[in-house]
Amino acid sequence: MITIKNVNHNINGTPILRDINLDIPDKSITALIGSNGAGKSTLFSLIARLLPLQQGSIHIDELDVSHSKSTAIAQKLAILSQENNIQSRITVRDLLLFGRYPHNQGRVTPEDQQIVDQALQRFELEPLQQRYLSALSGGQRQRALVAMTFCQQTKHVILDEPLNNLDMYHARELMRLLRQLTTEQGLTTIMVVHDINMAAAYADHIIALKNGQIVMQGTPDEMITIDNIQTIFNLDTEVVSHKSKPLVIHHL
């Protein structure tokens, strides 16, 4: 469980996050939604301590994120950031092996190789494993980065826009895989998703941020209504029910 209490965050005197209080439940997928600039990535950076916490507290299970060693955090939580500056003269296989670093400090074991083999297979990356990241398409690189995040084998996984650059096939395959991995391995998966219908179809909980504040949270059925989408995104939509899931029609 990730517990966030009374978190406020300012950048150069401007409030970016205000009064954030959240309990993110285990063994489930939580989707974080909200407009560009709402504060989603900032919140993720605070949870993973990529940014120092200014006020409040964040716990990952019993671990106080402000007062823990980086290695202790890395063994509990893996993050895929929205922007990545990973050295691109590295093969896909080596990138995934790099994901094992918090466990092996660079001394690769046969178990690490096995974990990487499984991930290459599950993320459909086997044919690309010897390719350099610099020689991949945007979507292929994104899939490799998501697979690396899972190779860290942490109970908590935070993914900032994992569907970026993915085509329809790979976006759906990834959401299905995230669902399977979360259920099979009892993970706490938190992701930023801009495609509201993907959140509706695959998330257990949805949290909406607006102007740095949590405006509402609930199950997809509770959250995805015409009025709520209007409140969160200032957008007129239609919402229908398809195969017992809410479906937002927003492109017409």
Ligand X SMILES: Nc1ncnc2c1ncn2[C@@H]1O[C@H](COP(=O)(O)OP(=O)(O)OP(=O)(O)O)[C@@H](O)[C@H]1O
Site of interaction with Mg ion (CB under 5 A): 40-41, 82
CA dihedral of residues 178, 181, 185, 187 (deg, nearest 10): -10
Q: How far is the CB of 9 from ligand X (least distance, A)?
A: 9
Q: How far is the CB of 246 from Mg ion (least distance, A)?
A: 24
Q: How far is the CB of 64 from Mg ion (least distance, A)?
A: 25
* Residue 95 to residue 71: CA distance in whole angstroms: 19
CA dihedral of residues 89, 142, 174, 121 (deg, nearest 10): -10
List the end-to-end C-alpha distance of the chain, in Å, as a whole number.
39
Whichever of 39 and 102 has its CB closer to ligand X, that residue is 39
200 makes contact, choosing from ligand X, Mg ion, none, with CB < 5 to 8 Å by partner type, with: none
41 scored as a contact of ligand X (CB under 6 A): yes
Amino acid at position 216, single letter: M
Q: Tell me which residues in 9-38 interact with ligand X (CB under 6 A).
A: 11, 16, 34, 36-38
218 scored as a contact of ligand X (CB under 6 A): no
39 scored as a contact of ligand X (CB under 6 A): yes
Q: What angle do CA 17, 226, 162 make, to 5 degrees?
A: 50
**Helix or strand or coil: residue 105?**
coil
102 scored as a contact of ligand X (CB under 6 A): no
Residues that bind ligand X (CB under 6 A): 11, 16, 34, 36-42, 82
